[in-house]
Amino acid sequence: MTDSRDNMPPTLHWVGSTDGHLRLIDQTRLPTELVEIDCESLESVVEAIRNLRVRGAPAIGAAAAYGVCVGLQSAASGANAKGDRAAFFKRLDETVDALAASRPTAMNLFWALDRMRRRANECDENESPGGILVKLLDEAKAIEQEDRDLCRRIGRHGAPLLADGAGVLTHCNAGALATVDYGTALAVVFAAHESGKRIEVYVDETRPLLQGSRLTAWELTMRNIPATLICDSAAAQVMREGRVQAVVVGADRIAANGDAANKIGTYSVALAAKAHAIPFYVAAPSSTFDLSLPSGESIPIEQRDGREITHGFGRQTAPAGVGVYNPAFDVTPAELIDAIICEHGVIRPVEKDGIAKVLGK
Ligand code: MRU
């Protein structure tokens, strides 16, 4: 089945060879402008991640992998191509540190950076900086391609959970824009829709940065999937009215026991779903799991600038000087999650041993 999204540029991709650059959709401009930007320096990649030009855990991971390549270009090209390995590895450390400091919560960022560093360390000790950069660019491209594949697998595993005619509520954006392509939570919706099921999606607008209304509603509209936008505070009422038969959201980091961090407001949605006996599903790739954390207690929660709340709509919406608390994520406890859908299958019930088994750990 084709849709108008097929004509869209990818969320992100690499342009050229090792002296090329990262190109990505500037998501801050959507839904009114579809604009790509070129990131040709480490600083521009860090800025793009920090300011949510590229966002969503898997997309952040893939962007960071390419960011490593951008950051290493000067240490591995021209006169340096055959040059100083020590200087190259020092620059690798600086590059990884800068990217790791861009945002704290999404596990995929740290997973991708670890993978890139490991690939560099695996290179033969006689490999030149230029040669290592070639391998690192291949690794970043592998991360990009794997993300495309595993999102499709998440969609295939999750689609049977949605009944024909179901209303599905989602929070934030876990679609194609949050990954390299196709998404996680929205992959489940897309796959169900592609299999012929009639699905209507209730889209939480997702204050304060409106990823639901700006991005999810846009993606669904592009694919001609019925979408109804609601303000976040309407979610429980929409459930009470019987409009929603399932909730599907993405995740930024999932602890070993299944507690899942996702966009602020997700926990409230899970509580409302429990109160209405509506199944609550989390869709995320294995790279979002952080098995080093026993529970969600220790997931680092990003705190963002209060101006996102006080000046959210391009104008001041709160009195000057008011105190603001603006955590970007919350943690939904495992007991509120009916199943986690990952590329290996559906994890149910959501508990430590089942997670370890499905992830093969
Ligand atoms: O702050 P954002 O927009 O990066 O937050 C994104 C989310 O919370 C997504 O739901 C999550 O990263 C999963 S994306 C497949």
Interacting residues of 342 by C-beta distance below 8 A, sequence separation 6+: 154, 157, 283, 284, 285, 286, 289, 358, 359
As given in the structure block, the two tokens for residue 227 are 């979408």
Q: Would the CB of 184 count as within 6 Å of ligand 1? A: yes
Distances (CA, A) of 17 to 25, 36, 73, 101, 214: 20, 19, 11, 27, 33
Given the CA of residue 172, which atom of ligand 1 is nearest to it? 10
Point out the residues of the chain with pLDDT beneath 70: 1-7, 81
CB of 264 within 6 A of ligand 1: the answer is no
- Whole-model pTM: value is 0.96
349 Cα–ligand 1 center, Å: 23
Burial bucket for residue 161 (CB in 10 Å: 0-12, 13-18, 19+): buried
pLDDT of residue 2: 41
Asked whether the beta carbons of 191 and 223 are under 8 A apart, the reply is no
pLDDT for 5 equals 58
181 is catalytic: no
Q: Which tokens belong to 74?
A: 């000067």
The two most distant CA atoms of the chain are separated, in Å, by 67
Q: Are strands 167-170 and 246-249 parallel, antiparallel or unpaired?
A: parallel
Residue 8 pLDDT: 84
Q: What is the pLDDT of residue 6?
A: 59
Position 96 scores a pLDDT of 98
pLDDT digit string (tens) for 77-119? 777 767 788 999 999 999 999 999 999 999 999 999 999 999 9
